[in-house]
Amino acid sequence: MAKWPSLEAWIARATEWLKDPDMVAGATKELEAKYITPGDLREQLALLKAVWPELRERVSKQLLPLDVLKSMLVRAGSPVEPEDIGITRERLRQTYWSAYCIRRRFTVLDLAARIGILDNCLDHIFGPQGLWPVANGKSL
C-alpha cells in the first residue's frame, strides 16, 4: 500500500480542498478518526476481495438504474441536476473529495478512495460522456 497517503497528507489535501479554517478543523477530526494504516488497508482489501462476489450480488439488488432513479426524483419534484440547486458541475466535482474528508462513517467514497478508483470515477462522471460533463473533467 505504498500509494496510500499518510494522515498528514490527507489533512494537507483537506486543507487545500476545503480552505475554510472551521471546515478544515472539522475534517481533520474526521480524518483522524477514520484513518487506517497501510497494513490495515491491506487487510480490509483482502477481506473485500474475499466477500466481493456475495457483497456485489446483495448490493446490486438494492441499486436502482440511474434513469429510473432520476425519473422518480423528477416526479417527486426534486432537483436532479447540480444547476437545480445553484452549484456548478465543476464545484460539484470538487465536493466529492471534500465529502470524503468530512464524514467519519464509511461510505462508497471511502471504498472508492481505498481501492484507488475515486479519481477515475470522477473523471468518468464529469468527463465528456459522463452524467455531468465539464470542460475539463479530469482530476484536480
Q: Count structural domains, the chain.
A: 1
pTM to 2 decimal places: 0.85
> What pLDDT shows up at residue 138?
58
Which of 45, 33, 19 is closest to 97 using CA atoms? 19
Residue 140 maps to a domain: no
What are 112-122's pLDDT values in tens digits?
999 999 999 99
- Cα distances from 132 to residues 40, 71, 106, 123, in angstroms, run 35, 16, 25, 10
Residue 2 maps to a domain: no
Residues above pLDDT 70, as percent of the chain: 95
Confidence of residue 133 (pLDDT cuts 50, 70, 90): very high
Q: How many angstroms separate the CA atoms of 122 and 116, rounded?
A: 12
Residue 131 maps to a domain: no
Residues in the chain: 140
> What pLDDT shows up at residue 140?
47
Residue 138 maps to a domain: no
Residue 12: enclosing H or E segment and its boundaries? helix 7-18
DSSP string, 56-76: HHHHHHHPPPHHHHHHHHHHT
What does DSSP assign to residue 106?
Answer: -
Residue 39 maps to a domain: yes
* Residue labelled with grid coordinates 480542498: 17
What are 44-75's pLDDT values in tens digits?
999 999 999 999 999 999 999 999 999 999 99
CB-CB contact of 132 with 92 (8 Å) = yes
Look up the domain containing 104 and give its range: 7-125
Confidence of residue 135 (pLDDT cuts 50, 70, 90): confident
Q: How many angstroms separate the CA atoms of 138 and 126, rounded?
A: 8
Residue 91 maps to a domain: yes
Residue 1 maps to a domain: no
Residue 137 maps to a domain: no
Q: From the centroid of its chain, how far is CA 120?
A: 11
